[in-house]
Amino acid sequence: MFLRLVCVCMLSFTSVFASSPSVSLEKPWARPADIGYNSAVYMALENTGNASVVIVGATCETCKKVELHETIEVEGVSKMIPMDAAHPWTVAPGEVLRLAPGGKHVMLIGLTRVLENGEEVLVTLLTKDGEKIEVRAMIQKGPGTCGSCCGS
């Protein structure tokens, strides 16, 4: 009986912490852009927990739609392709997922406010387990471009 009670306790503990996975974010930033345009968010996300973090999507309060993209080169032309749902971004314990210009990024589509240099934008990454990772990205100009649809 005693053992059983302990088990129930531990289970409820786990579910409390399951709402935010153990990750550490390094320098999240987003490109400045006007209303109606698109922006891209970059960061390094380290999995500091002991279970894989699987990112399946994202939301943003200041745009119409968010997509997870990867810039790849096809016959010398760089193209952005949306993440394949069958191959979500998986970060094993101790690994780092790098979102950077010319590679993976979180695409903010159809901005509903201006992303002004020096301000912040809140983006939420969603995991396969229904967890949320809140990302406060600094709006700043950066290297490279995010492809044809960004304009910056």
How far apart are alpha carbons 88 and 53 in whole angstroms? Answer: 10
Q: Shortest approach of Cu ion to residue 30 CB, angstroms?
A: 12
Report if residue 104 touches Cu ion, rule: CB under 5 A. Answer: no
Which DSSP string do the residues of 6-35 spell out, in sequence order? HHHHHHHHHHHHTTS--EEEEEEEE--B-T
Max Cα-Cα span within the chain = 67
Report if residue 33 touches Cu ion, rule: CB under 5 A. Answer: no
144: Cβ contacts below 8 Å, ≥ 6 apart = 101, 102
Please give the size of the binding site for Cu ion, defined by CB under 5 A. Answer: 3
Report if residue 107 touches Cu ion, rule: CB under 5 A. Answer: yes
Q: Shortest approach of Cu ion to residue 125 CB, angstroms?
A: 15
Q: Shortest approach of Cu ion to residue 131 CB, angstroms?
A: 24
Choose, by CB under 5 A, the member of 25, 80, 109, 114 that binds Cu ion: 80
Comparing CB distances to Cu ion, the nearer of 33 and 47 is 33
76: Cβ contacts below 8 Å, ≥ 6 apart = none
Q: Shortest approach of Cu ion to residue 27 CB, angstroms?
A: 19
Choose, by CB under 5 A, the member of 23, 47, 69, 127 that binds Cu ion: 69
- Phi and psi for 10 in degrees, rounded to 5? -65, -35
Binding site for Cu ion (CB under 5 A): 69, 80, 107
